[in-house]
Amino acid sequence: MKKIISTFLILCIAFSGLFLATKLLEPKYMSGILEGAMIGEYYDDPTDHNVVFIGDCELYENISPVYLWENYGINSYIRGSAQQLIWQSYYLAEETIKREHPDIIVFNVLSMKYNEPQNEAYNRMSIDGMRWSSSKVNNIKASMTEEERFVDYVFPLLRYHSRWSDLNSDDFKYLFHRDKVSFNGYYMRVDVKPAEDVPEGKPLADYQFGDNAYTYLNKLTKLCKDNDVQLILVKAPTLYPYWYPQWDEQIADFASSNNLSYINFLEYQDEMGIDWQTDTYDGGLHLNLAGAEKMSNFFGKLLVEEYMVPDRRGEQKLENYWAGVIERYNSEIERQNRNLELYGSVHEPDEK
């Protein structure tokens, strides 16, 4: 009996040590690069969403779910991550549909340009935050670059062990919890950097999207149809990376042949009222808050009028939930504006 207890104790201590080391060494994404923390935040939202946006920075920096809620009563969430590849979007959509049943999934098509795994750091930011499920397993398998190993996802300590020399106060502060960095998936920036001298796209040798990308677009379409979820393909209005007419044509053809909606917001810049002198914070790559709210206004109206997304304002549970998000949203606007005044940047001086 004594031996059993001591073995049990030893195992407990050993696994606790490994658990603690993993927690300490994994990146927290609480300052600087916040994008890595966004995928994981989704699980904290207890509400059922009518619209879920899935895609890369062209969604999570360009649409404000808070604005959609406040002005149209749309309960939405953005499951976005940096350079989210289409197979990652597919598995996030698959997981989302398993967890809830949104009326609409909005997918940004820029990632169609990638046909193969790209970058380990971006993979991590898209995948690490997911909870374990078959969707996550398949997402990892589809996303791994040649240098990556599946086991490193199962045991993050094997990947992040070398962070021991980069540990800072955040790693201890956020050992067991995280602050919210997004607003239902929206990454906020209030600063302005006008779009000037945006380069034209360089001619490409081949404009055809890859087979792998199409495979996952087909899978995403089938997934939504099979589950009675409406899929809307969108291209955000941002100026760069360049969206080639040949790409646009392929997506339009795909949408048409699959009976899907495709909205290229680049064509609605004037209707939305986007001013590239004031509505972008990085010279046309992404919209700032002003731009995102303009786009949300335009898209929100479309969602309500053409896609019949219900106005759910008045549902007490949702009101309570959104009150908290709105409070954080407004405080963040204040914080960023204050920092801009004090330091000329939305970041505080010690923020990396």
> What sign has the CA pseudo-torsion 291, 294, 300, 306?
negative
For residue 316, state whether it binds other proteins (rule: CB under 8 A): no
Q: Decide: 30 and 179 in contact? Cβ < 8 Å.
A: yes
| E strands, 81-227, in order | 104-108
Among the listed residues 8, 12, 14, 333, the single contact to other proteins using CB under 8 A: 14
Q: Which residue, 100 or 148, has its beta carbon nearer to other proteins?
A: 148
Phi and psi dihedrals of 249, rounded to 5?
-60, -45
Q: Which residue, 28 or 235, has its beta carbon nearer to other proteins?
A: 28
- Please write down the long-range contacts of 245-251, taking CB distance under 8 Å and 24 or more positions apart: 246/207, 247/109, 247/112, 247/113, 247/207, 247/209, 250/112, 250/207, 250/208, 250/209, 251/109, 251/112
| E strands, 40-176, in order | 51-55, 76-80, 104-108
Among the listed residues 162, 257, 259, 316, the single contact to other proteins using CB under 8 A: 162
For residue 148, state whether it binds other proteins (rule: CB under 8 A): yes
For residue 157, state whether it binds other proteins (rule: CB under 8 A): yes
For residue 156, state whether it binds other proteins (rule: CB under 8 A): no
Which positions from 21 to 60 touch other proteins by CB under 8 A, shown as an x/- string?
A: x---x-----------------------------------
Among the listed residues 8, 12, 17, 173, the single contact to other proteins using CB under 8 A: 17
Phi and psi dihedrals of 79, rounded to 5?
-95, 80
For residue 206, state whether it binds other proteins (rule: CB under 8 A): no
CB atoms within 10 A of CB 56: 25
Q: How far is the CB of 128 from other proteins (least distance, A)?
A: 13
Q: Decide: 93 and 221 in contact? Cβ < 8 Å.
A: no
For residue 304, state whether it binds other proteins (rule: CB under 8 A): no
CA 133-130-299 angle, to 5 degrees, is 115
Beta pairing, strands 261-264 & 104-108? unpaired
Count of residues touching other proteins (by CB under 8 A) = 19
User: What gap in Å lies between CA 216 and CA 154, rounded to an integer?
Assistant: 24
DSSP 109: G
User: What gap in Å lies between CA 67 and CA 326, rounded to an integer?
Assistant: 9
Q: How far is the CB of 181 from other proteins (least distance, A)?
A: 24
Q: Which residue, 25 or 52, has its beta carbon nearer to other proteins?
A: 25
Q: Which among 161-169, 181-189, 193-201, 264-272 is the span making contact with other proteins, rule CB under 8 A? A: 161-169
CB atoms within 10 A of CB 287: 28
Find the helix or strand (DSSP H, E) in which 264 lies.
Answer: strand 261-264
For residue 165, state whether it binds other proteins (rule: CB under 8 A): yes
Q: Which residue, 29 or 216, has its beta carbon nearer to other proteins?
A: 29
Among the listed residues 13, 154, 175, 342, the single contact to other proteins using CB under 8 A: 13
Q: Which among 72-80, 150-158, 289-297, 330-338 is the span making contact with other proteins, rule CB under 8 A? A: 150-158
For residue 10, state whether it binds other proteins (rule: CB under 8 A): yes
For residue 171, state whether it binds other proteins (rule: CB under 8 A): no
Among the listed residues 152, 171, 279, 293, the single contact to other proteins using CB under 8 A: 152
Q: How far is the CB of 3 from other proteins (least distance, A)?
A: 10
For residue 147, state whether it binds other proteins (rule: CB under 8 A): yes
Tokens at 36, concatenated:
């890595």
Q: How many residues does the chain have?
A: 352
Q: Which among 68-76, 154-162, 225-233, 323-331 is the span making contact with other proteins, rule CB under 8 A? A: 154-162
Q: Which residues bind other proteins (CB under 8 A)?
A: 6, 10, 13-14, 17-18, 21, 25, 120, 147-148, 152, 157-159, 161-162, 164-165
